[in-house]
């Protein structure tokens, strides 16, 4: 087909991209991005036809890997039956997607508002919380990512917020638990948890509890470094929200749909948020789709009052068909259980072994199919390894057939949840060799 030719002609694709495509989050010139010409399962192929283990899941969304036949077929079949319909009409595929999603969200979050992705899901969740409480402020953590739209980038706790700060209305940041680089000078996880909760409590008191509509929190911060919260932290945040009538928004855009070895990472708390946002893994990102799962009390705020928000493509049939297929495959193939086992049996012990062998690994942490390797120049001071050396390690990984995700001084290993034990073992061997070859030890 024409699309096959367009996808495989790497030289033409690259040339037209350089001329006409404007890319996100970077200066437009001086880079040589990879052309993806083919993808299947846990693998992608680049412009030189080199086959790479895709341990990025692109932007951590191909939870069922590339070209999953059941999702591809669902999109094709839905396109043939009813390719699109406006959100105001009822559509059976959308209804079924909502039913399936609600069957896995925490108890009581049974109403689904569909969006195009994660940022707008967070925008809408915050709008719902503000209208529900009549309060203006939103609290979020430093070291977080909540999306690229105006409000979502302002609740984001990283450098991407800075250029957009002028519109930060009522956004307040706090420190969350991060034992390896504690903001509280803690020496252990328990202490980190307690001090992080005391800090949050103080921020709430000083901001004025009656001014705070919501706390938005990634259950496991992803882009910011995959910091699995210590036991008790999520429960502590839930208690603070309950005490002060604050809406708890769990951002499960990256951590949700099996990434952590649970359907939603809130289950690790376990806690039930008031609103839960999702995208990415809901349909493995084959068609843009996100949404907000809504608790009954918040739903009832809008039962007789207009919800002032909407999107042209809310609940698009192609995205919803992909979700129906993806969730069905996850259930039938026990994908979430497999992700949990990959974490416990392969990533955990494998990375612990690598950390013992390589001084540059300051910490390897994660859960399920969600892992970060923090690279440091000196394990005692924890000073981050320099970008040039990290670049050489990543190049050696690619040379060996592994594509890791790079963020600051970390490699994120976030394969499809369907990656096999042997694919993960192979990836860790490639990383081991890359570290050895670059460090010369």
Nearer to ligand PLP, 109 or 119 (CB): 119
E strands present in 219-338? 247-251, 275-278, 290-295
C-beta separation of 233 from 177 below 8 A: yes
Span interacting with ligand PLP, options 184-192, 234-242, 247-255, 315-323, rule CB under 6 A? 247-255
Instruction: Please state the closest distance from residue 258 (CB atom) to ligand PLP, in A.
Output: 15
> Angle formed by the axes of helices 387-400 and 421-439, to 10°?
130
Nearer to ligand PLP, 147 or 170 (CB): 147
Helical residues (DSSP H) of 118-221, grouped into ranges: 118-133, 150-155, 189-207
Using CB under 6 A as the binding rule, whether residue 258 contacts ligand PLP is answered as no
Residue count, binding to ligand PLP (CB under 6 A) = 16
Q: Indicate the residue among 319 and 350 with the shorter CB distance to ligand PLP.
A: 319
Q: How long is the chain?
A: 441
The reply to whether 340 sits near ligand PLP by the rule CB under 6 A is no
Q: Is 118 in the site for ligand PLP (CB under 6 A)?
A: yes
Selected binder of ligand PLP within 145, 278, 286, 371 (CB under 6 A): 145
Provide DSSP, 80-110.
Answer: HH-----TTS--HHHHHHHHHHHHHSSTTEE
**117 is a site residue for ligand PLP (CB under 6 A):** yes
Q: How far is the CB of 119 from ligand PLP (least distance, A)?
A: 3
* CA-closest candidate to residue 428, choices 363, 354, 359, 374: 354
Measured from the CB of residue 366, what is the shortest distance to ligand PLP in angstroms? 15
Query: Hey, how many other C-beta atoms are within 10 angstroms of the C-beta on 231?
Result: 12
Closer of 201 and 218 to ligand PLP (Cβ): 218
The answer to whether 179 touches 210, Cβ cutoff 8 Å, is no
Of the residues 54, 251, 363, 423, which one makes contact with ligand PLP according to CB under 6 A: 251
Q: Which is nearer to ligand PLP, 292 or 393 (CB)?
A: 292
Q: DSSP state, 66?
A: B
* Site for ligand PLP, rule CB under 6 A: 59, 117-119, 122, 145-147, 218, 222-223, 251, 253-254, 279, 290
């Amino acid at each position: 087909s024409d699309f096959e030719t367009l996808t495989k002609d790497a030289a033409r694709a690259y040339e037209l991209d350089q001329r006409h495509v404007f890319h996100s989050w970077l200066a437009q010139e001086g880079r040589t991005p990879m052309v993806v010409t083919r993808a299947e399962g846990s693998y992608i192929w680049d412009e030189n036809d080199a086959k790479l283990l895709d341990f990025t899941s692109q932007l951590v969304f191909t939870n069922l890997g590339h070209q999953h036949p059941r999702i591809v077929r669902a999109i094709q079949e839905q396109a043939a039956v009813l390719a699109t319909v406006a959100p105001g009409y009822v559509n059976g595929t959308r209804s079924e997607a909502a039913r399936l999603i609600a069957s896995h969200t925490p108890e009581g979050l049974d109403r689904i508002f569909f969006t195009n992705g994660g940022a707008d899901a967070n925008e809408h969740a915050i709008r719902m919380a503000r209208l529900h409480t009549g309060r203006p402020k939103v609290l979020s953590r430093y070291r977080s990512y909540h999306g690229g739209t105006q409000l979502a980038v302002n609740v984001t706790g990283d450098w991407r917020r800075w250029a957009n700060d002028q519109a930060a209305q009522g956004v307040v940041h706090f420190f969350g638990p991060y034992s390896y680089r504690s903001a509280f000078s803690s020496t252990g996880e328990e202490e980190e948890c307690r001090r992080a909760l005391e800090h949050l409590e103080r921020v709430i008191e000083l901001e004025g509890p009656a001014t705070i509509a919501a706390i938005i929190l990634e259950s496991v911060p992803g882009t910011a470094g995959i910091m699995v919260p210590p036991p008790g932290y999520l429960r502590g945040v839930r208690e603070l929200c309950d005490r002060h009538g604050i809406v708890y928004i769990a951002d499960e855009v990256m951590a949700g749909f099996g990434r952590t070895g649970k359907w939603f990472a809130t289950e690790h708390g376990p806690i039930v948020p008031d609103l839960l946002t999702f995208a990415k893994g809901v349909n493995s990102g084959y068609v843009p789709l996100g949404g907000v799962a809504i608790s009954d009390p918040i739903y009832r705020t809008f039962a007789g009052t207009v919800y002032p928000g909407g999107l042209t493509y809310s609940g698009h049939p192609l995205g919803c068909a992909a979700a129906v297929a993806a969730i069905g495959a996850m259930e039938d193939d026990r994908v979430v259980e497999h992700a949990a086992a990959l974490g416990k049996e392969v990533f955990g012990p494998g990375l612990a072994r690598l950390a013992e062998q390589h001084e540059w690994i300051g910490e390897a942490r994660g859960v399920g199919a969600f892992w970060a390797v923090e690279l440091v120049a000196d394990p005692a001071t924890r000073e981050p390894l320099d970008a040039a050396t990290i670049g050489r390690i990543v190049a050696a990984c690619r040379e060996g057939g592994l594509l890791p995700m790079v963020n600051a001084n970390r490699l994120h290993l976030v394969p499809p949840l369907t990656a096999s034990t042997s694919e993960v073992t192979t990836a860790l061997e490639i990383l081991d060799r890359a570290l050895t070859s670059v460090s010369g030890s």
